[in-house]
Amino acid sequence: MKTVRQLYEEMSTQKAADGENPKGFDQAQLDCLLDPGFEAGDRLYEPSGDVQASKDVLPVLKVLSEEPGEVFAIIAPAITGQFEGVADPGKIRSSLKAIGFKGMVEAAAFADILTLKEALEFDHKIHDDKDFMLSSCCCPMWISMVRRECPELFDKMPASVSPMIAAGRVVKHMHPGATTVFIGPCMAKKKEAKEVDIDDAVDYVLTFSELQEIFELAEIHPADMDGDEKEHSSRSGRIYAFAGGVSEAVQATLGQLNREGDVAIRAKKADGALECKKLLAEIKSGEATANFYEGMGCKGGCVGGPKKLVDSAAGKEAALAYGEHAAYATPLDNPFILEMLHRMGYETIRDFIEKSDFLTRDFGVSKAAILQP
Ligand code: SF4
């Protein structure tokens, strides 16, 4: 069984042989998660006791004022293009650090890891034309709908956590005692963070509108900040922002696993509650002929989430552009991810599948109320 590092080295050698220029691991990319460089004196905003803010904004301001330097932000892939004049997340990172966050981690980097996990699950479980699986790694509304309407399909869904939960767990593993704040376009994520089997990962969930509110309170204009860009995520993780992104990412990664004579992936996606319900009915009736099903509760995926700040077409365009700028195509190309897996003690792919507790959940113990689509 190959180590993660060997796999990366082999792929780099192959790319070099193909005339491509593989990018090595850049220590400067470790900032924010593996080697944060926070200076308390850099903080531009001092929260005062008398601010008027919405319900979930106040506790975050409180924790930032009480524990400066110990709070990490986790941003959803759909954040690109949401704030005026801000195309890439680098300016958001500078803005969050100015408020007092120690670092900003892209959930897209953990979407990379979960893409690799889902590709390996597919390779492991799908062996003939009758086998199929449902993606579980992203949308809490989709998971709730499957749980409520098609419990008989539940065992076709790997018990993977979402990129948000994986990111929170890794941050807390690497920085014991840290507080984590997820920022996205989604209301359902507030409830997901409290589900009993995964409530160890994320302490607060803010929406883009709530982050906007904080920027306004702090008089921070992200567009005017310096861009603190990092290459933590590959194209695969970045395109989780829109419907079809998960399937495309898993398909691209699976294509790199050198599988021979095995079943090809046939992906089908649904977005929006009605489409998701229709797709589940098709799967139940046996009419659906794909072998990998992706559901997203919002029309267009997360770029169409209820707390988006721009319309979903503009959000998708920005997410696609950010994906195209990625230095790496998939998690298997991404040395940041491979370095992180290595540092977390995963030496082989088998280790990764069998012992990745921080990537798995126990749906059986989750007693959270089922979310309404
Ligand atoms: S598709 Fe909608 S409900 Fe699902 S994770 Fe994205 S924003 Fe949340």
Per-residue pLDDT of the chain (373 residues; tens, 9 = 90+): 344 445 445 555 665 666 554 455 455 555 555 554 444 334 445 555 555 556 788 888 888 887 666 899 999 999 999 999 898 899 999 999 988 899 999 999 999 989 988 998 898 889 988 899 999 778 999 999 998 888 889 889 988 999 999 999 999 988 899 999 999 999 999 999 999 999 999 999 999 999 999 898 888 899 999 888 888 999 999 999 999 999 999 999 998 886 666 789 999 999 999 999 999 999 999 998 999 999 999 999 999 999 999 999 999 999 999 999 999 999 888 888 878 877 778 776 557 656 778 888 887 655 343 333 3
Q: What is the pLDDT of residue 303?
A: 97
CB 70 within 8 A of CB 102: yes
Considering Cα of 95, then 220, then 63, then 74, what sign does the dihedral take? negative
Q: What is the DSSP string of 318-357?
A: HHHHHHHT-S-SSGGG-HHHHHHHHHTT--BHHHHHHH-G
CB 349 within 8 A of CB 11: no
Q: Which conformational region is residue 272 in: left (phi greater than 0), alpha (psi within -120 to 50 degrees), or beta?
A: left
Work out the angle at residue 218's Cα, subtended by the Cα atoms of residues 212 and 220, and round it to the nearest 5 degrees: 70
Residues with CB under 6 A from ligand 1: 138-139, 141, 185-186, 188-189, 296-298, 301-302, 305
User: HSE of 356 in the Cβ direction (CA atoms, 13 Å)?
Assistant: 27
Look at residue 190 and give its three-state secondary structure.
helix
How far apart, in Å, do the first and last CA atoms of the chain sit? 42
Q: How far is the CA of 70 from the centre of ligand 1 (A)?
A: 28
Phi, psi of 34 (to 5 degrees): -85, -25
What is the token pair recorded at 310? Answer: 């721009």
Q: What is the pLDDT of residue 29?
A: 54
Which ligand 1 atom lies nearest to the CA of residue 271? 1
What is the token pair recorded at 351? Answer: 């280790």
Write the CB contacts of 17 (distance below 8 Å, at least 6 apart in sequence). none
The distance from CA 77 to its chain's CA centroid, rounded to whole angstroms, is 6
CB 332 within 8 A of CB 11: yes
Q: How far is the CA of 9 from the centre of ligand 1 (A)?
A: 36
Task: Compute the distance between CA of residue 6 and CA of residue 347 in angstroms, rounded to an integer.
Answer: 9
CB 186 within 8 A of CB 307: yes
Q: How far is the CA of 205 from the centre of ligand 1 (A)?
A: 13
Tracing tokens 């997360």 back to the chain, one arrives at 302
Q: What is the pLDDT of residue 257?
A: 82
Q: Which amino acid is at 305?
A: G
Work out the angle at residue 86's Cα, subtended by the Cα atoms of residues 233 and 272, and round it to the nearest 5 degrees: 70
The distance from CA 54 to its chain's CA centroid, rounded to whole angstroms, is 25
CB 51 within 8 A of CB 59: no
Which ligand 1 atom lies nearest to the CA of residue 305? 7
| H/E element, 295 | strand 292-296
Q: How far is the CA of 207 from the centre of ligand 1 (A)?
A: 12
What is the token pair recorded at 100? Answer: 């007092």
Q: Report DSSP state, residue 202.
A: -
Which ligand 1 atom lies nearest to the CA of residue 162? 5
CB 299 within 8 A of CB 312: yes
Q: What is the pLDDT of residue 230?
A: 87
Give the count of beta carbons closer than 10 Å to the beta carbon of residue 286: 8
Question: Is 334 exposed, middle or buried (CB count within 10 Å of its CB: 0-12, 13-18, 19+)?
Answer: buried
Partners of 257 in the β-ladder: none
Q: What is the pLDDT of residue 280?
A: 95
Which ligand 1 atom lies nearest to the CA of residue 302? 6
Nearest Cα to 86, choosing from 226, 253, 257, 185? 226
